[in-house]
Amino acid sequence: ADRIVVKVGTSTLIRQNSKINLDVIKKLAHALSILKKEGKDVVLVSSGAIGVGMGVLGIDKRPIKISKQQAVAAVGQAELMQIYNEAFHEYGMSVAQILITRDIIDYPESHTNVMNSFQELLSMDNAIPIVNENDSVTVSELDHHTKFGDNDQLSAIVTNLVDADLLIMLSDIDGFYNANPLKVPDAKLVSTIDSISPTIIAAAGGHGTKFGTGGMTTKLKAAERILKHNQQMVLTNGKNPDIIFNILSGDPVGTLFS
């Protein structure tokens, strides 16, 4: 794979105690910088703005009010980008912030503009685009006209948009299981999936963690989009981002959607 999109979930970035997992960020910066130096094109889609914002502001419950969530996300986004920037600077890389909304799907002009920005950034040797949804512009979780709803689907849309070979989705679980492992302890990891059948959808239980938003359902929707475009996606555990190297060297890791 020469062009890769990596999505990292809140559950990987934020520890249970609301503190950011700096170790993961540093390792992610290291791995992606190496790939970039090897000549690969890399895009990072990062969740975590609300979780980081909660930590910064000392809030321990995710706000219920949407406008409050947007405010917390705005605080967290700035902090998160600062942390990424420092981590990537260690390897001579700078980060480029791309905040997107559904406009890129609904309006051809926005679609073209963001695509041009990506092409330009990907042609640079020292820049890593980091993408998130523009939470202060998108209206509500339920308003599908403006909001993607989650970074899982957003990362699939970005993978389509930049015509990447592979989407690597880093979560807090080793892959897709034939049942939610939180509820069914002897659930088995499924190593490859070539279509999103009703049985597979039924195996995706509710939300995982206190900070995570999508759970497995939105990851399957992302996978569906990837498969429709004849692209590939690997879902695996992000606790050690060096796993990206294993994936790219062809080791069987997590669940491959292909």
**Site residues (vs ligand ADP, CB under 6 A):** 9-12, 171-173, 176-177, 179-182, 203-205, 208-209, 212-216
Q: How far is the CB of 160 from ligand ADP (least distance, A)?
A: 19
Which C-beta is closer to ligand ADP: that of 74 or that of 182?
Answer: 182
Q: How far is the CB of 99 from ligand ADP (least distance, A)?
A: 18
Strand partners, 177: 189
Of all residues in the shown chain, the one whose CB is closest to ligand ADP is: 9
Residue 255 identity (one-letter amino acid): T
Which C-beta is closer to ligand ADP: that of 127 or that of 200?
Answer: 200
Strand partners, 166: 4, 232
Q: How far is the CB of 135 from ligand ADP (least distance, A)?
A: 16
Which C-beta is closer to ligand ADP: that of 42 or that of 222?
Answer: 222
Rounded-to-integer distance, Cα 129 and Cα 152, Å: 17
Q: How far is the CB of 253 from ligand ADP (least distance, A)?
A: 15
Which C-beta is closer to ligand ADP: that of 98 or that of 216?
Answer: 216
What token pair was written down for 175?
A: 């892959």
Q: How far is the CB of 74 from ligand ADP (least distance, A)?
A: 20
What token pair was written down for 141?
A: 């979780």
Q: Pairing relation of β-strands 255-257 and 232-237?
A: antiparallel
Which C-beta is closer to ligand ADP: that of 68 or that of 188?
Answer: 188
Which C-beta is closer to ligand ADP: that of 149 or that of 215?
Answer: 215
252 burial (CB, 10 Å; 0-12 / 13-18 / 19+) is exposed
Pick left, alpha or beta for residue 175 (phi over 0 → left; psi -120 to 50 → alpha; otherwise beta): left
Name 96's Cβ contacts closer than 8 Å, sequence gap at least 6: 121, 127, 128, 129, 130
Q: How far is the CB of 82 from ligand ADP (least distance, A)?
A: 21
